[in-house]
Structure 1
Amino acid sequence: MKVNLLIFSILLGVFASNNVLAKPYSSILPAQFPVKKILITVSSQSTSGNADIYHVSLKANGNSFLAKNNEKQPLKISTDTLIELLNDFYSVHFFEIPDTFHIKKKAVLKDNGIVTTIVNKELAATDSKKVCVQLREYKKCVSVIDNQPAGISQIVNKIETLIESAGR
């Protein structure tokens, strides 16, 4: 009995330590966090050589910036604006949706009367944007492809509008 308890304790310790080391970010969305631990990023990704590639980093500590064409431009984003954006993410259930929309599911009726689900992973044929929100040690990223999911695409458009005005 004592041997089994010892083996169980060792296995539990190994599992717990590997679990902590394997994940650089927490999977648990915090209910409270310091405002300075909020980071929202948007990165454009392009399959064509003509599109502008950029990276936006929005922080409450005043270190917000836009990186585009190998230039880093500081941005002035207020804490109120950052909180407003975070509330936008909550309103579209950002933290609950899948990380990518590359996977398409489709129901098909077979000749034998059975409905089956087909799952395809599609390559991104168009430009996409990666949106990440980090709150303390928690981080969630979603790829926006073909303006989907629509709610997150609207937030990206809002951020792009903000950076146009904040950079001036």
Structure 2
Amino acid sequence: MYIIVRMLLWILAAWRWGDWRNWKNYQSTFLFVILLDLLYNFLTYNYPLWVYDPTDIIPNHTLNNLLVSFISYPSVVFIYLGRYPTGWVKQVAWIIFWVTLFSIVELVNNIMGLMSYHNGWNFGWSVIFYLVQLPFIRLHYKKPLLAYGLSVLIIVGLLLLFKVPVSKMK
């Protein structure tokens, strides 16, 4: 039930705080975030770094992750970019706010047994990931080609760091 409540909260937050007048401006960034999340799931299918554990409502990682990909992430992008402040101090505070929010949501998920870490990944890595992911969302919005190029480098680096056996995919 918590998962459904969490998705409804993201939808309500996007409805309340999203920048509806300019939604088309964010569409490519929605797709960028969704693409990278789906790519993660494809590349780590047989060697996951973290997994959404089954519940009575959502029976597997894939369905849960699709909810996150297509509801949570677009809602976040919609609010995050739509209310992105000016001035570097406010921007840093905005990023820290979102890193903290994502970290708290993940911590609750982990404590409730709704997700688990594997193959060297842990909560600390997630926080570091959020510290990179959120500025990258803004980078993609402003300079998409640069964001795609740097994303390739980061993906290759993470695959090597966590020794993801891409060559042994089934």
Interval containing the TM-score (normalised by the shorter chain): under 0.3
The structure in which a higher percent of residues are helix is 2
Q: Between Structure 1 and Structure 2, whose CA radius of gyration is higher?
A: 1
User: Which one scores higher on RCO, CA 8 angstroms, separation ≥ 6?
Assistant: 2
- TM-score by length of structure 2 reads 0.26
